[in-house]
Amino acid sequence: MGKTPSYDGSGLVNLVSEIERRMIGSSVFEGLSEASSLGHEPTYVLVLFDGLGVAQLEHPDAAAFRSSLAGTLDAPFPTTTSVSLATVATALSPSLHAQVAHLSWYPDLELVVNTLKWVTLTGDAVNYDYGGLLPGPNLWERLREARVEPITVQPGDFQATPLTRALYRGARFEGAWDADDLVEATVTLAAVPGRFIFTYVPFVDVAGHVTGQGSDEFTAAMRAAAGVWEGIARRLPPGAALLGTADHGLMEVTEDDKILVREPQFDALRFAGDTRGIHLWGERALMDDLASLVGGKLVDPTNWLGPHPTGTTLSHLGERLLVAPPGKAVIPKGFDKRLRCYHGGLMPEEVDIPLLVG
């Protein structure tokens, strides 16, 4: 079925907590169990390469990443962008920040919402209190209170999106328009002591989803991402520590390994989550029938979300979680069947992410 993501010293959440501890002396979550390579500097730069799992470092054009690899971390579960970015924005596990799916059920709206784009499964915009989505004070607010300036460097067209409003409350947004801009903005901002700069690089994930890891487009995306890392490392001013990681890895899925759920009897179930880990609501017998049909396993969805305080509930969680078989994508109605790569599950290709030190 896969591996259990770590939250107790070798996870993405622990990396972010470790940076917070080094900058302001404390954090709300446990830091890294092994952090000797991280350094102690007045400013920290964390670059997150979307989709750059440890498995992707085998690509011929990932040499710059391989030479900077200091260890392997675990992405939080589910291994998907909105959940991992919420983990960065709070330094909390999914069980505590409560973002638990790419396609998430919102009981107050009675809708399944795409939490990257904040639209329904049919593409209609969803109005919500985006700024109040994550618990507070979030990481950026805690840093600001401690007189550390938090800045996120992102593609410029992300600035006004619901996701940005949800994730970066309290942080300064700095837009960039291409790979060179990402480098220029990051190194320029890092020249001022007492800043935490979080730079997000989308290229690898986009190309993997759309064209697959064997394509020319993926090679170009890997070269662009590696160029961002090399450019920042080469030009970073003294007094700034450079770290890199990812939000998840990528799993290539062939057309033959896409399992489309179209049988009418399953229309009685509610589906949310990801193609590699599906949240289900409805009759247990129907869930068992579905799991048998697709070859997946039904589990308790709380098992991989991190520490779960006694007596609390997560309203977005399904009654059961269907874990897809290795190498397969289970695709109910409304889920995207066009992609070449998927993630969201528990296989090492999805969970294992790099710790890069520049």
pLDDT interval class at 58 (50, 70, 90)? very high
Range scoring the smallest mean pLDDT among 36-45, 169-178, 236-245, 342-351: 36-45
Residues 172 and 40 grouped into a single domain: yes
Query: pLDDT tens digits, residue range 219-258?
Result: 999 999 999 999 999 999 999 999 999 999 999 999 999 9
Average pLDDT of 341-352?
96
pLDDT interval class at 34 (50, 70, 90)? confident
> H helices of 202-332, where?
203-211, 216-235, 284-294
Which of 216, 251, 244 is CA-nearest to residue 344?
251
User: What average pLDDT does the structure give for the chain?
Assistant: 95
Residues 77 and 139 grouped into a single domain: yes
Q: Would you say residue 27 lies in a domain? A: yes
Q: What is the pTM of this model?
A: 0.97
pLDDT surpasses 80 at 309 = no
Considering only CA atoms, give the Rg of the chain. 19
State the residue range of the domain holding 301: 255-341
pLDDT interval class at 3 (50, 70, 90)? confident
**3-state class of 284 per DSSP?**
helix
Residues 147 and 211 grouped into a single domain: yes
Exposure of 257 by Cβ count < 10 A (0-12 exposed, 13-18 middle, 19+ buried)?
Answer: middle
Average pLDDT of 127-150?
96
The share of the chain scoring above pLDDT 90, in percent, equals: 92
> What pLDDT does 2 receive?
81
> What pLDDT does 207 receive?
98
> What pLDDT does 312 receive?
61
Residues 225 and 261 grouped into a single domain: no
Residues 194 and 270 grouped into a single domain: no
Work out how many domains the chain is built from and give that number.
2
Q: Would you say residue 326 lies in a domain? A: yes
Please give the distance of CA 222 from its chain centroid, rounded to a whole number.
18
Q: Would you say residue 116 lies in a domain? A: no
Residues 48 and 132 grouped into a single domain: yes
CATH of the domain at 48: 3.40.720.10
> What pLDDT does 311 receive?
58
Residues 310 and 172 grouped into a single domain: no
Q: Would you say residue 105 lies in a domain? A: no
Residues 96 and 177 grouped into a single domain: yes
> What pLDDT does 301 receive?
84
> What pLDDT does 149 receive?
98
Residues 48 and 82 grouped into a single domain: yes
Q: Would you say residue 195 lies in a domain? A: yes
User: CA–CA distance from 2 to each of 80, 250, 303 (Å)?
Assistant: 16, 14, 13
> What pLDDT does 285 receive?
97
pLDDT surpasses 90 at 141 = yes
CATH of the domain at 292: 3.30.1360
Q: Would you say residue 115 lies in a domain? A: no
Average pLDDT of 91-115?
95
Residues 292 and 211 grouped into a single domain: no
> What pLDDT does 303 receive?
81
